[in-house]
Amino acid sequence: MIFGALEAGGTKMVCALGQEDGTILEQVSIPTTTPEETIPLIIDYFKEKGIVSLGIGSFGPVDVNKDSDTYGHILDTPKTPWKYYDLLGELQKALNVPIELDTDVNGSCLGEMTFGDAKGLDSVVYITIGTGVGVGAAVGGQLLHGMLHPEAGHILLEKHEEDTFEGCCPYHGTCLEGLAAGPAIEKRWGKKAVELKDNDKVWEIEAYYIAQAIMAYILTLSPRKIILGGGVMHQMQLFPMIRKEVKRLMNGYINTKEMQDIEHYIVPASLNDNQGIMGCIQLAKLALEGK
């Protein structure tokens, strides 16, 4: 069986074919412009491939409530051409196969839980830190939904004492995304993150913010593993700094085996940046099973 996978991002749409074991057979990237330009290209790609179902991990906010009249619609996005667009409905109509949709970060979380470092675990947090900050979560084996879906990249943080940057989130200023995403690093320091690799102060401040967020996620969601992906997290020197700062902030309050073995608790993404597509393959499998 061939499963279709669509990682619908704000700058590109990655379309792929995969197998039940997560093997990616092929993939193509289509620029995200307008629905009128982009969606026909996606449909053309999948239409002749013989897919049995499709899994979609979409940028948000997106309606993931299957009982909602607007299930599968992009919601109030700053990407104006996509605002209130019926992504699921248009693809369902054109492809006529079972489709399962979730957020892109929940898809990445599912990919890691099914094929990666979090395999066999029922409660996981996946954080992507790049152009923005997104958080996907599973609790009790189910991807987390509620009133909407997690938007935990926008939790408010305490400023580092040496950081004068005002934050760049247009909604909240000093939230995690406003202080720690790639654009925040570039605006604060005048260079892209990749050019700042050897500047210890950059990563001390970055680790301070990421650790605050992780502490909040530990205390609220109690995950069995925390996985960090995205372009900023390619700076591997961040991981020991984040772990050390989490332990300092936690101050001995939680003393589980996971916290005692924090090197294996707070970890990098494990699927070579394919966790999103592999999660979409799993979503497609769940769509076919009617789950």
Could you read off the pLDDT of 1-32 as tens digits, one per residue?
Answer: 999 999 999 899 999 999 999 999 999 999 99
pLDDT of residue 97: 98
Whether the pLDDT of residue 90 is over 80: the answer is yes
Chain mean pLDDT for the chain: 97
Count how many Cα atoms sit within 13 Å of the Cα of residue 67 in the half-sphere of its side chain.
Answer: 4
Q: How far apart are CA 216 and CA 158, in angstroms?
A: 12
Banded pLDDT at 77 (limits 50, 70, 90)? confident
Q: Check: pTM over 0.85? Answer yes or no.
A: yes
Q: In sequence order, what DSSP letters do the residues of 179-209 get, joined into one string?
A: HHSHHHHHHHHSS-GGGGTT-HHHHHHHHHH
pLDDT in tens, 243-291: 999 999 999 999 999 999 999 999 999 999 999 999 999 999 999 998 7
Question: How many CB atoms within 10 Å of residue 251?
Answer: 8
